[in-house]
Amino acid sequence: MLEVRLAAVRVDLQSNTPVILLEEKLDARRALPVYIGAPEATAIALALQHVEVPRPLSHDLMIDIIAAFGAQLDKVVVTEERDDTYYADMYIIDKNGDEIVLSCRPSDAIALATRCNAQMYVTEELMEQAGVMIGSEIELDDGEEILGQFRAFLDNVSPEDFDI
């Protein structure tokens, strides 16, 4: 496994889709781009900026539930790509020190890891298969771009925009 850091939360201009970039810690020239949904990108951006929300969001609630059982999120691993879909595992250490592994979406794994500073990894096979070489080390993105787009959406949305 290769330890990675969340280097960026951006929007791909060609597809207008949010993407996170997981940069290898030992070789900052190699990274794994993972396309995610807008709600997940917003959740990650909020965590990166330490934005306080009046009520817990889903990922905050998950961290609270894990802690309520005396457990902690130890690490997340983006494991593979099949049919253009990425897979990840969460490693939770329970109150007895036993390891619990749960399959999840990479976006959820990263959103949780970002909230509790858990380590993030990508399998070597996946990095070889889907990783990209980048020109220079990326400066950590604080999610401001995604958060700004979400705020603009909220400023312009009205109940009529939803088919209810």
CA distance 161 to 139: 36
pTM: 0.79
The pLDDT value recorded for residue 153 is 54
Of 88, 96, 144, which is closest to residue 112 (Cα–Cα)? 88
The pLDDT value recorded for residue 14 is 86
β-strand partners of 85: 82
Strands (E), the chain: 2-12, 17-24, 30-35, 72-82, 85-93, 99-104, 119-122, 132-133
Mean pLDDT of each 10-residue bin along the chain, 164 residues long: 93 88 88 92 89 89 96 98 95 97 97 95 96 66 57 56 48
CA distance 151 to 44: 14
In single-letter form, the type of residue at position 131 comes to G
The pLDDT value recorded for residue 151 is 57
The pLDDT value recorded for residue 49 is 87
Q: Strand, helix or coil at 124?
A: helix
Q: Which two structure tokens, joined as six digits, stand for 149?
A: 């787009």
Per the structure, how many domains does the chain have?
1
Q: What are the residues whose beta carbons fall under 8 Å from the beta carbon of 58, sequence distance 6 or more?
A: 43
Residue owning tokens 């889709």:
17
β-strand partners of 9: 20
Structural domain boundaries, residue 119? 2-161
Look up the CATH number of the domain holding residue 145.
Answer: 3.10.690.10
Of 49, 59, 42, 147, which is closest to residue 104 (Cα–Cα)? 59
Burial grade of 69 (CB within 10 A; 0-12, 13-18, 19 or more)? exposed
